[in-house]
């Protein structure tokens, strides 16, 4: 019998990531999250308003100073920044595709979990539940990619073994 897996969350970012999905941005730029955090540490955010053209130019230069040696071009930085730009106060986040999966249950036991849509845009593991198995802990490793449609996808779901 197929039992749907329900997903929630998975879009939480680190406290030190200043409201940005750093793991997604870094993967899309082909750099480690630490490299992007270092690059972003040189940016002076315009609080409560958009940056002036001069501020934007200085911020871009600070980012590229760190990212360019890693092969990041100005064009790719713009593309990735535009894709993952969002305003948390608006209640909207970056583009995402929800994951879809179902568990194969036989004789009251989960035999396996089949991911039918890996989704995208997850920067943290979502909460997953299987109807009738609400207390069964599940784990879903995320896959990061330069392809926006695959970045932050769920590759597989497994039941976490009891200790």
Per-residue model confidence as pLDDT tens digits over 4-51: 999 999 999 888 887 789 999 999 999 999 999 999 888 887 776 777
And the tokens for 118? 């890996």
Residue 39's pLDDT is 94
Q: How many CB atoms lie within 10 A of CB 61?
A: 12
Residue 88 has pLDDT above 70, yes or no: no
Model confidence at 108, pLDDT cuts 50, 70, 90, reads very high
Number of residues that this document lists for the chain: 163
Alpha-carbon distance 140 to 153, whole Å? 9
- State which of 31-45, 46-60, 135-149 shows the largest mean pLDDT: 135-149
**What rounded mean pLDDT belongs to the chain?**
92
Under 8 Å CB-to-CB from 18, ≥6 apart: which residues? Answer: 40, 45
Where in the chain are the domains?
Answer: 2-12+95-159, 16-90
């Amino acid at each position: 019998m197929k039992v749907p897996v329900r997903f929630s969350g998975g879009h939480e970012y680190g406290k030190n990531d200043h409201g940005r999905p750093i793991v997604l941005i870094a993967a899309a730029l082909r750099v480690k999250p630490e490299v992007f955090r270092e690059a972003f540490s040189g940016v002076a955010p315009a609080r409560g308003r958009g940056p002036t053209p001069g501020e934007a130019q200085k911020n871009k230069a600070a980012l590229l100073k760190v990212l360019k040696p890693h092969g990041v071009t100005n064009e790719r930085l713009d593309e990735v920044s535009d894709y993952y730009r969002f305003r948390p106060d608006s209640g909207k986040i970056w583009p995402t595709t929800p994951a879809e999966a179902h568990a194969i249950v036989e004789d009251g036991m989960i035999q396996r979990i089949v991911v039918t849509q890996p989704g995208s845009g997850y920067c943290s593991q979502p909460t997953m539940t299987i109807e009738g198995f609400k207390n069964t802990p599940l784990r879903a490793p995320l896959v990061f990619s330069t392809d926006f449609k695959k970045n932050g996808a769920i590759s597989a779901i497994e039941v976490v073994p009891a200790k």
